[in-house]
Amino acid sequence: MRVILDLISHKGTDCISIGFDYDFDLKEYLKQFPGVRWSKSKRTFYIPFSEEGKKGLHDHLIAGDYRVVYAEDVARMDKRMVQSQTSLMALDSEKIKIHTLFVAYLKGKRYGESTVASYSGFILNFLRFIKKDINLVDEDDVRLFTEWAVATFDYSISTHRQLVSAFKQFAYFYPACAINIDAINRPKRDQKLPTVLNKEEVIALIQATKNLKHRTIIALLYGSGLRVGEILALTLNCFDFERKMLHVKRAKGRKDRYATIPESLLPILKNYYATYKPKHFFIENPKGGAYTAGSIRNFIKQNCKLAGITKRVTPHTLRHSYATHLLEAGTGIRHIQELLGHSKPETTMIYTHIAEKDIQVIKSPLDMMVQELRGSKKEHNNLLIPGPDFRI
């Protein structure tokens, strides 16, 4: 979540205002910083200005995994966005019609709301960018727009890949244009291995989490291998305690699936229900609505510090850890794929690269070589220890 710091005058004193979209956990976290006060007249949290206070507040927010920006940077960013819009042309009636039909096409393919919004937004900017008849547009126009958009909006690799996917759908939708789909290259996805907690770290994290609601969320994320969006969408009728099954509805890819409820979780789940008495969503915010992913990320970050965990841990780290520990325990890839709700086994196969079960039994050639030499000659026992002539 973004926090905007600005220099203001309050009661004749220079102060730093702290602006953010309302979030209960952020508000409570902010109160932990010395000197933070609420101004009724300014309708903002603030601290008296000093360079030390400014740096301390900045570090405090960063430690809580909040994104800090300064008002002058926001103003420059807004100016940059306005300037970028001058490169875009207004749509004529023909382009408006094509864009409207493209949105209908995406909805007809039953894409999710976020996908429709992303794809249609990319194509809207493209239609405003090009200065020629839409029927004459080809892959060179797509390349020029992509170069401009990536440079202007600083797209990540994943957003760039989404942009290419949008163009591929547009080319299918509007074959009258001259875009060669095969000539549009999608950048390769980063091949990063996920962060995984070991079993001791998982237990330490749960034990360090004193808040009952937070502990329940962490235990359920790990114990059932849920995505953060899935746990937020859980309603009371998703739980089948007799069968120890959890009905995960309309998960990623609009797929339903069943996840297991660990028997060791039953007492904490019942304690949580009796204490908080949720009405609709199993995890609700203090006002009764759905909880937020940002809140979960924040308290996981804070409790990892309490547990002495130095890895960068997100809600999805717990899901990665769940899958890896299942694999190390001998559970088959096919079963793990079903439990996680992956469409392709290739997605699940990434956990074979980080599971310790098989990697630990592999001997390095260096170990084998040293072992052979030690067996053949006694003087090789201290082969890797530097001799008396060793110098740094």
Our answer to whether residue 374 is catalytic in this structure is no
Q: Which residues does residue 332 pair with via DSSP β-bridges, in sequence order? A: none
Residue of 66, 105, 291, 351 with catalytic role: 351
3-state secondary structure the chain: CEEEEEEEEECCEEEEEEECCCCHHHHHHHCCCCCCEEECCCCEEEEECCHHHHHHHHHHHHHCCCEEEEHHHHHHHHHHHHHHHCCCCCCCHHHHHHHHHHHHHHHHCCCCHHHHHHHHHHHHHHHHHCCCCHHHCEHHHHHHHHHHHHHHHCCCHHHHHHHHHHHHHHHHHCCCCECCHHHCCCCCCCCCCCCCCCHHHHHHHHHHCCCHHHHHHHHHHHHHCCCHHHHHHCEHHHEECCCCEEEEEEECCCEEEEEECCHHHHHHHHHHHHHHCCCCECCECCCCCECCHHHHHHHHHHHHHHCCCCCCCCHHHHHHHHHHHHHHCCCCHHHHHHHHCCCCHHHHHHHHHCCHHHHCCCCCHHHHHHHHHHHHCHHHHHCCCCCCCCCC
Our answer to whether residue 319 is catalytic in this structure is yes
Residue of 252, 257, 374, 380 with catalytic role: 252
Residue of 213, 319, 320, 325 with catalytic role: 319
Our answer to whether residue 287 is catalytic in this structure is no
Residue of 95, 99, 301, 342 with catalytic role: 342
Our answer to whether residue 252 is catalytic in this structure is yes
Residue of 257, 316, 374, 380 with catalytic role: 316
Residue of 227, 297, 301, 325 with catalytic role: 227
Q: Catalytic residue numbers?
A: 227, 252, 316, 319, 342, 351
